[in-house]
């Protein structure tokens, strides 16, 4: 009997691992620069394969998980999150028909299906959280290794620096297009980017990985994950991303608030130690560029960490916001939006890089408000979830790294956002595979 139960568990474990890898691969489709530019890297056939996988995998996952015959909402927050999400999709079709691109609207349908299927999968198979956490952390750690190899080999540029080409042998060092030069430093300043399209995207995931590592250690995985977490933290800092500083500072501050107990000396010590660090992070995110520009700072370190990328910091010719304030001002004039469509450097449509205003331009005020209502459901669920499952705190902080980074540079509408959101909405209590297997063995021996 003992052997049979262990075999059943191992078969289920194999299934969970396989689905976890497929979900991770789907996540990579929206994070990896190769999959984001498939025609450039692999031609038309590769592009067809990538878009086919993006469209079909969520439906495959839904088919694999199955639609419950009697669906039960996990909570009112889960119900209203789904209602606001689906309402946004329905509403966004209206401005899209009037002036957008229906194909772009169709692309957000699989993301919603993925949310629905993935949520139900997490409820049935909570170990998927551990599997995905390890895979995401591994990619963050690999990005740090790429960064180190760039400096060891001295290969700072791709063979075609003005293109999307990746750096290093077979492109294994990742993207280095965001490097810059500073006076007094002979070698270029490399912003850790890995296979992400921008260091900002890398910063959100690497900082989230820091908290995922702490979560893995807290649920019974090997304590070495705590040490790996600090490597992920280092990787995030090396992205030199203001959005990343903001995300990390916000996540640390939230964790401090949720765990603070004024009756404990340890909490008071944390207050003394962490608040200045959090303050520095938030200052770097919001004010460092302006400070450097207004004071004509030429210190290479401050120029690097503040995000100033050119040598001139004259406030008369240098815009610390990089034109973002003008773009925000234009965005506020939208009413119903211009409709979902392709945006970016190679298009005529200029949109802000932060999620709420991005959707304000495309879906108007109704669309942006529906999305804000949607995400407020996650925020409202956090305190209640933590009361039932305090171990979720690290997952909450990881979630905040993603949502805050995308608040400044992102869309709140990709698998990266959905995966971390579901981790919170599902609110499941996870134990490591080793603990579960020990429990199975113990129960079988007792019955024997």
Mean pLDDT by 10 residues, the chain (448 residues): 51 78 96 94 96 96 82 82 96 94 94 96 92 96 97 91 89 90 81 94 97 94 94 95 89 82 60 66 61 61 59 47 55 78 74 86 93 94 87 94 92 95 90 50 37
Q: Do 182 and 21 form a contact (C-beta atoms < 8 A)?
A: no
Q: 431-438, long-range: CB within 8 Å, 24+ apart, which pairs?
A: 431/219, 431/220, 432/130, 432/216, 432/219, 432/220, 432/221, 433/13, 433/127, 433/130, 434/220, 434/221, 435/220, 436/9, 436/127, 437/6, 437/9
Look at residue 257 in the predicted model and tell me its pLDDT: 81
What is the structure's pLDDT at 24? 97
Residue 25 CA from chain centroid, whole number: 14
- pTM of structure: 0.85
* Sequence-separated (6 or more) residues with CB below 8 Å from residue 440: 5, 6, 9
CA distances from 284 to 172, 193, 246, 348, 447 (A): 31, 19, 8, 32, 60
Burial code of 313-338, b = ≥16 C-beta within 10 A, e = fewer? beeeebebeeeeeebeeebeebebbb
Backbone phi and psi for residue 196, each to the nearest 5 degrees, phi listed first: -75, 160
Local structure of 418: helix, strand or coil? helix
pLDDT at residue number 448: 30
């Amino acid at each position: 009997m003992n052997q049979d139960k262990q075999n059943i568990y191992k078969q289920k474990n194999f299934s969970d691992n396989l689905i976890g890898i497929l979900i991770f691969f789907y996540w990579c489709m929206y994070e990896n620069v190769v999959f984001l530019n498939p025609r450039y890297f692999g031609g038309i056939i590769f592009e067809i394969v990538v878009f086919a996988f993006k469209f079909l995998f969520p439906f495959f996952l839904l088919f694999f998980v199955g639609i419950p015959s009697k669906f039960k909402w996990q909570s009112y927050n889960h119900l209203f999150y789904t209602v606001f999400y689906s309402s946004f999709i329905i509403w966004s079709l209206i401005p899209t028909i009037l002036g957008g691109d229906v194909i772009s609207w169709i692309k957000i349908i699989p993301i919603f299906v993925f949310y629905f299927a993935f949520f139900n999968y997490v409820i049935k198979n909570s170990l998927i959280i551990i599997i995905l956490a390890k895979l995401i952390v591994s990619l963050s750690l690999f990005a740090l290794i790429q960064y180190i190899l760039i400096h060891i080999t001295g290969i700072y540029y791709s063979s075609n620096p003005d293109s999307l080409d990746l750096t290093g042998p077979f492109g294994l060092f990742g993207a280095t297009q965001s490097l810059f030069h500073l006076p007094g430093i002979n070698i270029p300043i490399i912003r850790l980017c890995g296979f992400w399209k921008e260091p900002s995207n890398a910063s959100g995931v690497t900082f989230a990985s820091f908290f995922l590592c702490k979560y893995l250690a807290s649920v019974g995985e090997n304590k070495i994950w705590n040490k790996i977490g600090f490597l992920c933290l280092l990787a995030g800092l090396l992205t030199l991303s203001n959005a990343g500083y903001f995300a990390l500072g916000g996540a640390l501050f939230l964790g401090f608030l949720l765990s603070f107990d004024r009756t404990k000396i340890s909490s008071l010590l944390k207050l003394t130690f962490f608040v200045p660090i959090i303050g520095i992070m938030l200052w770097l995110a919001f004010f460092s560029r302006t400070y450097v520009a207004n004071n004509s700072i030429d210190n290479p370190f401050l120029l690097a960490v503040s995000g100033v990328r050119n040598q001139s910091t004259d406030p008369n010719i240098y815009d610390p916001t990089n034109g973002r304030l003008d773009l925000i001002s234009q965005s506020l004039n939208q009413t119903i939006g211009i409709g979902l469509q392709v945006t970016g450097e190679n298009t005529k449509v200029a949109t802000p890089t932060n999620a709420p205003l991005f959707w304000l331009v495309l879906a108007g005020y109704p669309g942006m408000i529906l999305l804000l209502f949607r995400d407020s459901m996650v925020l409202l669920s956090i305190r209640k979830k933590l009361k039932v499952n305090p171990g979720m705190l690290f997952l909450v902080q990881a979630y905040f790294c993603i949502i805050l980074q995308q608040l400044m540079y992102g869309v709140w509408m990709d698998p990266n956002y959905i995966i971390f959101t579901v981790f919170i909405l599902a609110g499941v209590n996870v134990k490591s595979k080793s603990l579960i297997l020990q429990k199975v063995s113990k129960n079988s021996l007792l019955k024997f």
